[in-house]
Structures are given as C-alpha cells and as structure tokens.
Amino acid sequence: MDSFQEQRKYPRIFFSGEEVALAKIAPAAGEKSFDVRLLNVSEGGIGFHLKRSAGIWLKVNDSLQLITLFGHPHLGDVSDLSMEVRWIMDEEYLDHVVVGCEFINLDVHNRELLQDFVLVALSEHKHQQQDVPS
C-alpha cells in the first residue's frame, strides 16, 4: 500500500465555508485582473477556485501577479506578489476550476506577513481544538 507523505515546505491554512478570503490577480501579460476565492494560503503560495463561467483559462507555468488579498482582516497588507501556476484541477462536470500557485521571489515584508498569519491561525486552531469537550 502506498502511503501519502506531505512534501510541502510550509504549513497551509485552509478557509472553511464561513471564512471568506479573496484575491485580486492579474495575468503577467497585462490582461484584465480578476477576483478569486481562496481555498488556502501559505508562505509558499495560494490555492483558489474560480467559476468556470468566468471564462478565465489558465495553464500550468503561467505567470500571474497577486495584486492583493482581501476579505480577511489578517491578510489585507499582503500585496504585489509574483507567482506561477503549479497545478490545475479542471473537471468539465464541476462549476469551478481549482488552481494552485507558488509565490516566486517572495520579498521579506510579504514573507513576514504570511508567516505571522499562519502562526496566528495555527495558534487559534489549536486553542479551538483544546476548547472542544471530549
């Protein structure tokens, strides 16, 4: 039996259905920006989904610019990040396309903002787990 081994360098924070975090993204080619809903974020990159009906077609290795993150109070200062599409889940029968992007040449300021966000979110999650009665 094959075992799954996590190979990510950085812990990810997943957003539940109640939590809304959005990103404004622009193709590096200078095309019109578009908004997406974040599924997760880490120091290494983001995962997001967009509606198939939006007509935005991305490919693996496409260069993108994350203009800003918004909708979540602890991510509002993260901005102006270069990233590349690393994977795409695009099933014709689904209403959304899911995309994973890696940050490229992350500057110190944004790296610290993302590290702080992840640490706070992990700490909050740990406290929530401890508050749940057994």
pLDDT digit string (tens) for 120-134?
Answer: 888 876 545 555 455
Instruction: Provide the terminal-to-terminal Cα distance of the chain, rounded to the nearest Å.
Output: 32
- pLDDT for 72 equals 82
pLDDT at 20: 85
One-character DSSP codes across 39-94: EEE-SSEEEEEEEGGG-----TT-EEEEEEEESSTTTTT-EEEEEEEEEEE--TTS
Strands 63-70 and 45-51: unpaired
Question: Given the DSSP bridges, would you call strands 96-104 and 63-70 parallel, antiparallel or unpaired?
Answer: unpaired
Contact 27, 42 (CB under 8 A): no
- Read off the pTM: 0.85
- pLDDT for 36: 95
Nearest C-alpha neighbor of 87 from the set 53, 51, 55, 46:
46
The percentage of the chain sitting over the pLDDT mark of 90, rounded to a whole number, equals 57
